[in-house]
Structure 1
Amino acid sequence: MKNPSSAPITGIIPVMITPFKEDGTIDWAGYEALIEWYIDNGSEALFAVCQSSEMRFLSLEERVELSRFTVRQVAGRIPVVSSGHVSDSIEDQITELTAVADTGADAVILVTNRLAADGEPSATVRATLDQLLSALPHDMPLGLYECPAPYRRLLSDDEMAFCAQSGRFVLSKDVSCDLDTIKRRTALVDGSPLKICNAHAAIAHPAMQVTKAGFCGVMNNFHPDLYRWLQDHGADHPELAAELSTFLVLSAQTEPMGYPKLAKLFHRRLGTFSGTSSRAIPFDIHERYWGTEAVLDHITQGTELFRRKIAATTRTMAA
C-alpha cells in the first residue's frame, strides 16, 4: 500500500464501465480489453467499481473481483482507485471498504452520500468519517466521490477541510459542477495530499487549469485521449483547445441517453467487447432515445476529426 504522501493520483481518470455477457455475468475478456483501451488512449489512472461500473447493482463478491482484476491487469502501469461503497449500515460499509482495500488498489474511494442519509446534518458525516477512518487500514490512501446516486451530497467546506487536514485523503471526484466551488475547494486543500478532480465536462478545461488534477468524467469512456491533449497541450493551442472544448461539451450532453449502456454500445462499435447489457439500464435505449446510432456516428466522426487536427498540430510543431 502507498503512503498518502506519495505521488498524487491525478490526470485523466476514466470511471470504468462493466461489460456483461448475455447471461448477465461479467465479461472478463471484454473487461481486460477495455482496460487496455483506456491505457492506450491516454488514461493516467483508473477508477474501478464506481457508479459507471454499476456498483449498486453488483454483489460484494463482484465488486471485490472487479477491483482485484483491474489491479492485476494494470500491473502497476498507472494507479487504480476503487470504491464499491454502496451499503447503508456502517458495519456493512466497513466490510465492503475493507474488502476493496485488500485488492491492492492505490486508494479506496468513499461515497459521500453513504456518510449520512439525505437531510441529515454535518455532524452525522463527521461521525461516520470518524468510524470509517478508525476501521480502515491507516496506510491506505482514501478518496471522496460525490456520487449523484441515490442522491448527490456535496461536502461542506468544513467537511472538505477536515478530510484534507486528516492527511488520509488523496483524491476528491468533484461533482459540484461549479467552477467557483472548485476554485474555492482547490484553495481549501492546498498544502494537503488531497487533490480536487472535476467530473463535469462543461467546465473540464478551465477546471483542469485551476486544479492541475485532470478530469474524471464519464466521457473518458469515449475519448480520453482528447481530454489528455486538452490537459497537456490546450494552453499552448488556445484556438484548437476552444474548438475541442465545444465538441467535448456537446458530446457530453448525450450522458442522459441511457449511459452507461450508451458507452457500451460505443465500445461494441469499436470492437472492445460485444455485449451492451446493463443492470442499471435494463431497457432498450434505441426505443427510448431516438437517433441513438446517429448521435454515436457524430461523436465518432468528431473524435476522429479532432484526432487529425491534433496530429496536424503535432507535425507542424515538429517541422
Structure 2
Amino acid sequence: MENSSKGFIPVMLTPFSANGNIDYDALTQLTEVYLQAGASGLFANCLSSEMFELSDEERLQAIRHVIKITNGTVPVVATGTFGGAIGKQADFVKRVNDLGTEAVIVITSLLAAENESDEVFDGRVFDLLDQTEKIPLGFYECPVPYKRVLNAAQLKSFVDTERVIYHKDTCLDLDDIKAKLSVTQGHKFGLYDAYMGHAVASLKAGSAGLSCIQGNYFPELITWLCQNYNDEALADEVQRVQQFLIDNMDVMHNVYPVVSKYFLQRRGLNISTFTRRDVGTFTTSIVKEIETLFADYTLLKDDLNIRLFL
C-alpha cells in the first residue's frame, strides 16, 4: 500500500440475513467479487460495514472471515478503535492485528472529542502508538461521530514514526491532499482518497489509490480508473468516467448502504438490503433512481469493454 501503486481499496459492506445476523455466505461472495474486480486490498470493519452496529466479537469474526477468503492474495486493513481509554483501544488494536491485518485503522474522531484541540489528539495518537508495540496503523477520517480531518503537519509527524502506513482521506480538498502527499514522501505509506469528485486529479497528484463507496456499486470501474487515469490514449474515456462519478454522487449516497446492496442485487449478488443502521426510507423514487444508475452503468461499462464478475 505505497504511493508507487495505484489501487482500489473497497470499503467493505456487511451483508445481513433477514433476521439481522451477518450473512457469511454473502460476505464470501462479496469478498470474491471485490477480488475478481481487481481490488488491491480490502478495508474491512469500516463505516460501510456498519461497524458501529456490530459487537466486538462480530467485528473480529467478520475481519477473520475476510482474511480467510482473501488467503493472502491482497492485504486487509480493518478498524480497531472504538472509543474509551487509550489502553482499551490499544487492547482491541492488538486483537485486530492478531487476525493478520496489514494495518489496524484508527478512527480520528474517536481519539478526541470535537471540542478538544489538535494537541490533545496528537498526544493520544502517540500514546496509542506507544501502547501498541510495533503494530502498523492507519487513519480514517470517518464522518461519524464527527469528522476530524488531519492537517499535513499532523500526518507528517505520525508517518515519520514509520508506524503509520495507511490513510483514508475524506477532506474533499485537493490542495489539502497535495499538502499531505508532499510531506509524506519517502515512507512506506499510502494515502487513499474517498472523494470521487476529484478522483483523477488526486491520482495524478500522487494518491496511492481510491477508497470510496462507489466501489460498492461498480468495483471494476474504480479499478479501471486507477489503472487508466493517466493514459493519454484513454483521456476522453477517463474524463467520461470522472463525470459519471460526479453526476451520480448524490444518488449513491442517498439511504446508503441500502441502495448499494440493492444495486448489487441487480448485479446478481445474493445479498439482502437489510441494514442495522437507520439511514432513511428506501422509497420507490429512490428505487427508480438506482434503476437508472444501473442502466447508465451498463451502457458505460459496455462502451469501455469492462468485464463484470457478477
TM-score range, shorter chain: over 0.9
* Aligned residue number for residue 296 of structure 2: 302
Cα offset for 1:49?
0.2
1:271 aligns with 2:268: yes
Q: Unaligned 5+ residue runs, structure 2?
A: none
Cα offset for 1:268?
2.1
In 2: Cα distance, 1:201 partner to 1:299 partner: 16
Report percent identity of matched pairs: 30
* Aligned residue number for residue 99 of structure 2: 103
- Would you identify which runs of 4 or more consecutive aligned residues in structure 1 move more than 3 Å? 6-10
Equivalent of residue 216 in structure 2, options 218, 221, 237: 221
Equivalent of residue 192 in structure 2, options 184, 190, 197: 197
Matches within 5 A, 1:161-176: 161-176=156-171
Call closer, same or farther: CA 1:275–1:22 in 2, change over 3 Å.
same
Cα offset for 1:62?
0.6
Provide the TM-score with structure 1 as the length reference.
0.90
Call closer, same or farther: CA 1:118–1:7 in 2, change over 3 Å.
closer
In 2: Cα distance, 1:275 partner to 1:231 partner: 29
In 2: Cα distance, 1:24 partner to 1:168 partner: 37
Cα offset for 1:224?
1.7
How many positions carry a matched residue from both structures? 304
Q: 2:151·2:176 contact (CA, 8 Å) conserved in 1?
A: no
* Aligned residue number for residue 315 of structure 1: none
Matches within 5 A, 1:83-122: 83-122=79-118
1:78 aligns with 2:74: yes
Q: 1:111·1:145 contact (CA, 8 Å) conserved in 2?
A: yes
In 2: Cα distance, 1:60 partner to 1:158 partner: 33
* Aligned residue number for residue 238 of structure 1: 235
Cα offset for 1:106?
1.1
In 1: Cα distance, 2:248 partner to 2:166 partner: 26
Q: 2:251·2:290 contact (CA, 8 Å) conserved in 1?
A: no
**Secondary structure in structure 1 of the residue aligned to 2:304:** helix
Q: 2:192·2:211 contact (CA, 8 Å) conserved in 1?
A: yes
Provide the TM-score with structure 2 as the length reference.
0.93
* Aligned residue number for residue 254 of structure 1: 251
Cα offset for 1:32?
0.4
Amino acid at match of 1:12: F
Of stretches 219-228 and 252-261 in structure 1, the one that deviates more from structure 2 is 252-261
Amino acid at match of 1:113: S
Amino acid at match of 1:31: L
Q: 2:151·2:180 contact (CA, 8 Å) conserved in 1?
A: no
Amino acid at match of 2:180: R
Q: 1:50·1:84 contact (CA, 8 Å) conserved in 2?
A: no
* Aligned residue number for residue 130 of structure 1: 126
Q: Unaligned 5+ residue runs, structure 1?
A: 313-319
Of stretches 170-179 and 129-138 in structure 1, the one that deviates more from structure 2 is 129-138
In 2: Cα distance, 1:122 partner to 1:163 partner: 13
1:311 aligns with 2:305: yes
Of stretches 269-278 and 167-176 in structure 1, the one that deviates more from structure 2 is 269-278
* Aligned residue number for residue 35 of structure 2: 39
* Aligned residue number for residue 155 of structure 2: 160
Cα offset for 1:283?
4.7
Deviations 1:246-280 (A, max 9, x none): 11122222243111111111122223123111111
Of stretches 27-36 and 252-261 in structure 1, the one that deviates more from structure 2 is 252-261
Q: 2:3·2:206 contact (CA, 8 Å) conserved in 1?
A: no
Deviations 1:20-69 (A, max 9, x none): 11111100000000001111112111100001001111100011111111
Equivalent of residue 22 in structure 2, options 23, 26, 41: 26
**Secondary structure in structure 1 of the residue aligned to 2:138:** strand
In 2: Cα distance, 1:146 partner to 1:47 partner: 14
Q: 2:256·2:279 contact (CA, 8 Å) conserved in 1?
A: no
**Secondary structure in structure 2 of the residue aligned to 1:197:** strand
Amino acid at match of 1:50: C
Cα offset for 1:159?
1.4
